[in-house]
Amino acid sequence: MKTGLQTIAAWMLTVATLGAQAAPPGTPPAGDPVKGREDFATYKCAWCHGTEGQGGLATVGPRIALVPRGLESFIAYVRKPSARMSAYSEASVSDAALKDIYAYLRAQAPAKAARDIPLLEQLRKPKG
């Protein structure tokens, strides 16, 4: 049976090993959010989805900031969109550029709730 100290030592070793490892299998290497921001404009994603992926006016493109999809699903969608968005082939936007765009979108701050935006809260509250 292990002593308490051995258990702690084994645990610390595990933590150290996990920390030293590269990302676990299946995890995509992180893209560059700064380059992603440029690409998001260059490839006109921003035209429909807004400069920060916040969603366009008149619902041209939905909000895609923070994309709940994984990287693979994100790239797959851009290559073969399901409805109105036009497809981007590998020749027009590389996987590497999409990885950067993905990193940029994932780096966005979460949207605030309406009640945390004073102006909206003012509108929501009945006057009087």
Distances (CA, A) of 61 to 29, 48, 69, 89: 27, 5, 16, 19
As to burial, measured by CB atoms within 10 angstroms (0-12 exposed, 13-18 middle, 19+ buried), residue 38 is: middle
Residues 3-42 that bind ligand HEC (CB under 6 A): none
Beta carbon nearer to ligand HEC, 25 or 68: 68
Instruction: Determine, following the binding rule CB under 6 A, whether residue 104 of this chain makes contact with ligand HEC.
Output: no
Which tokens is 95 given? 């996987």
Q: Which is nearer to ligand HEC, 31 or 74 (CB)?
A: 74
CB 26 → ligand HEC: shortest distance, Å?
Answer: 19
Residues 98 and 74 sit within 8 Å (Cβ to Cβ): yes
User: How many residues of this chain interact with ligand HEC, rule: CB under 6 A?
Assistant: 23
Binding site for ligand HEC (CB under 6 A): 43-45, 47-49, 60-62, 64, 67, 69, 74, 77-78, 81-85, 88, 93, 101
